[in-house]
Structure 1
Amino acid sequence: MLTCTTALVVSACSKETNLTQQSSISPTAIAVVQTSPSASPEVGKTEIVAELDITPGNVTASRDGRMFASVHGMRRGPAQLIEIKPGKNNWSTFPNQEWNAKPGSGSNVLNTAHGVAIDSQDRLWVTDHGNWMPDNGKPQQPKLVAFDINTRKQVFRMDFPEEIGPRGGIMQDIAVDAERGFAYIADCGATPAIVVVDINNKTAHRFTNHPSLNAENVDLVVEGQILKFPRPDGSMQNARVPINPITISADGEIIYYGAMNGETLYSVPARLFREKATNAEISQAIKVVGKKPVSDGISTDAEGNHFITNLRDNAIDVLSKDGKLTRLVRDDRFLFPDNVRFGSDSWLYVAVNQLHRSSIFTGKSDVGQPPYLIARVWTGTKGQPGR
């Protein structure tokens, strides 16, 4: 889920030569077994569950089927965080109107909501990368907030100081481990990083300055067009977006991540982040998992298969636990599949938002055409609802 400024245009980097290759890529199809073939949908079956007049950023779904989404900061609407019900434009602000007031208008306001996830305790986690250049001249620092989806009450808040959420930073996708009390946020800003939040102690630290966090020298192509960002002089240059997709294994022990403009998925033991290992120790433990498409979102199922948005092909791809990259589904309606989250059963929810048609990429006017979509795809596997 991308909100980019020219600060995001970073140099491509070469992969570090000492990274360990975990598995090779093969075109062999992923072995996905449906639990009840006679009763379950066909793997890859796609349903459009909601059509929206506002632009979803990230979507997530609870165990009982409730859907929540951020509203993308590149195409702002009358809300920043919403609950969605099936149908056309059937949404409401969440948790209330106060949190969805005009950005910068108060302390209990979501200024630029992005990453969303629901944990095993029915808490909706939301990253807010703030607003360093608001209209009213009062910068809003980034924060992480959680709401109980049943009571609508705030149950966690951490405002990040500038050393954790620096100017030029963009807090994006999030992976939450409620059992151990940690959250992991991809910062795809000017200094790419993984922000590690100790939920119980309300502390945070950044892991940065590693080549795996940076964009690779590959283009972001959607509808056959190379996407570009504006330079300060108004000219355009090819987009290069660093770390954005981030996910966590079902047991909470492995973090997986990659650059948006990148074709490599990496892994690192979560234990090192929890124990505040040195950057050198963390760097030595990073491994290459396999090949991925240029992507904005990722989710990992209970078996260790990774479901990854494919921006070029309007698709969802799967990197299996044994390193085989295959196609789950391609759909012409998937115009910029931004993020993916598992819901109940084997449904994978997808936010589709035509972000490539927004003015930041066109350099001109926004040519997005509602409806923007929430879809879901049957995977035949089991995931962790909400993440």
Structure 2
Amino acid sequence: MSGRATWLYQQKAGYFLPSTHWEIQLVEIKNKKAIPYPSINLQKNGQKASDQTIDSPLGIIFDKKNRLWVTDMGLNLGKTRLWCFNIKTNQVIEKIEIPEAIAPAGTFAQDVAIDEKNNWAYLADINNPGIIAINLKTKEARRWSGHVSLQAENKDMVIDGKVVYFKGKPARVAIDPITISADRETIFYGAMVGTTWYKLPAKLFREGKSDQTIADAVQKAGNKPMSDGATTDEYGNHYFTNSQEHAITKVDVKGKSSNIVQDEKIKWPDNVIFGPVGWIYVTANQLNTTPAFTGTTDTGKAPYYIYRFKINKR
């Protein structure tokens, strides 16, 4: 689930717990209440950013070992980090700091794909469009960038009949959704403002191949809607948040596209993730109503939702 969604909800609507108002960076929803995760002590909570606390979490995902991974782009701290939590003990397992040479200040490490089989992580950076690959054993990282597949397409994103602007210009947002196949051998990715879904072999990163070798291996995997998030199931189907149509779009293994859920209530579906027993979860955070997109004030209207619904993957 995207941390950006929970962060926006907290900043715009406020999380209130009994007798306490905390400025929370990462939360767990229990009984319709937002609980600081894994504790209040790990939250920046209005204080100065530090190495000991979560700063600006975005991509949130579980791996097959049921560990929770969180990208932290460090808007205040100026460092990009990747956190890993044991959700049974609520303890920090890993806190990996990505070197400044790979992720300089201003890096916008958005979504993340985890390969727990081979111990690698792949982060999508939309600010300097690229993929940051991290060897989780050695903690070494590299950046792959400069390829056209990582860039936004020159197309307008239109929501409810209006062109979406970003920083005063028609939005042209680069690589954002990134996923990995069930066998952990294929990385899939695409631009938020783009309708092409790409793929490349993950082993090229594991084997330390050159940037050019990686570039030469990029292939089109199919078409997609303009999307902020995506996930890939064990059958090879892809599920995208469809920003323009207030929908979740499934693209099956044959390339057939269909909206499996569509509702005006889904205002800017941010990310999509599988839960247990056939559930799929979607955040709707009205991101296009924030000042970066409106150019003026925040026009979003609370509440901001997390939806879930049943799906048939086959």
Map Cα deviations across residues 129-173 of structure 1 (whole Å, 9 max, x no partner).
112xx4xxxx43111111111111110111111111123310000
Name which structure has the greater RCO, CA cutoff 8 Å, separation 6+: 1
- Does residue 57 (structure 1) correspond to residue 1 (structure 2)? The answer is no
Q: For 2:288, what is the secondary structure of its paired residue?
A: helix
Which amino acid is 2:146 matched to?
Answer: N
Distance 1:357 1:288, change over 3 A: same
Q: Superposition pairs for residues 30-49 of structure 1, below 5 Å?
A: none
Distance 1:347 1:292, change over 3 A: same
Match of 2:118 among 177, 180, 205: 180
Aligned partners of 1:277 and 1:104: how far apart in 2? 40
- Does residue 97 (structure 1) correspond to residue 73 (structure 2)? The answer is no
Aligned partners of 1:344 and 1:363: how far apart in 2? 39
Partner of 1:35: none
Q: Superposition pairs for residues 147-296 of structure 1, below 5 Å?
A: 147-189=85-127, 191-230=128-167, 236-296=168-228
Moved more, 220-229 or 348-357: 220-229
Q: For 2:199, what is the secondary structure of its paired residue?
A: strand
Q: For 1:272, what is the secondary structure of its paired residue?
A: helix
Aligned partners of 1:320 and 1:105: how far apart in 2? 43
Q: For 2:4, what is the secondary structure of its paired residue?
A: strand
Contact 2:290 2:300 in 1 (8 A): yes
Contact 1:72 1:114 in 2 (8 A): no
Q: Report the RMSD for the aligned CA atoms in angstroms.
A: 1.9
Unaligned ranges ≥5, structure 2 = 15-22
- Does residue 85 (structure 1) correspond to residue 30 (structure 2)? The answer is yes
Q: Superposition pairs for residues 71-82 of structure 1, below 5 Å?
A: 71-72=7-8, 75=11, 78-82=23-27
- Does residue 362 (structure 1) correspond to residue 298 (structure 2)? The answer is no
Match of 2:310 among 353, 363, 378: 378
Number of equivalenced pairs:
304
Aligned partners of 2:102 and 2:83: how far apart in 1? 15
Aligned partners of 1:72 and 1:316: how far apart in 2? 21
TM-score by length of 1: 0.75
Which amino acid is 1:99 matched to?
Answer: L
Which amino acid is 2:153 matched to?
Answer: E
Partner of 2:20: none
Aligned partners of 1:162 and 1:73: how far apart in 2? 30
Contact 1:72 1:113 in 2 (8 A): no
Pairwise CA distance, 1:242: 0.2
Pairwise CA distance, 1:180: 1.2
Partner of 1:315: 247
TM-score by length of 2: 0.92
Runs of 4+ that moved beyond 6 A: none
Contact 2:9 2:304 in 1 (8 A): no
Unaligned ranges ≥5, structure 1 = 3-55, 59-69, 231-235, 383-387
Pairwise CA distance, 1:273: 1.2
Q: For 1:57, what is the secondary structure of its paired residue?
A: helix
Pairwise CA distance, 1:75: 4.5
Contact 1:103 1:109 in 2 (8 A): no
Match of 1:115 among 59, 77, 87: 59
Map Cα deviations across residues 58-105 of structure 1 (whole Å, 9 max, x no partner).
5xxxxxxxxxxx424994761111001353xx1101011122123643
Identity among equivalent positions (%) equals: 38
Aligned partners of 1:216 and 1:377: how far apart in 2? 31
Which amino acid is 2:41 matched to?
Answer: E
Pairwise CA distance, 1:108: 1.2
Q: For 1:71, what is the secondary structure of its paired residue?
A: helix
Map Cα deviations across residues 304-359 of structure 1 (whole Å, 9 max, x no partner).
00000110000011111111122211111100000000111221110110111111
Q: For 1:295, what is the secondary structure of its paired residue?
A: coil
Moved more, 305-314 or 145-154: 145-154
Which amino acid is 1:94 matched to?
Answer: Y
Aligned partners of 2:102 and 2:237: how far apart in 1? 31
Map Cα deviations across residues 160-216 of structure 1 (whole Å, 9 max, x no partner).
111111233100001111121111110011x21101111111111111110000000
- Does residue 335 (structure 1) correspond to residue 240 (structure 2)? The answer is no
Contact 1:103 1:110 in 2 (8 A): no
Distance 1:342 1:267, change over 3 A: same
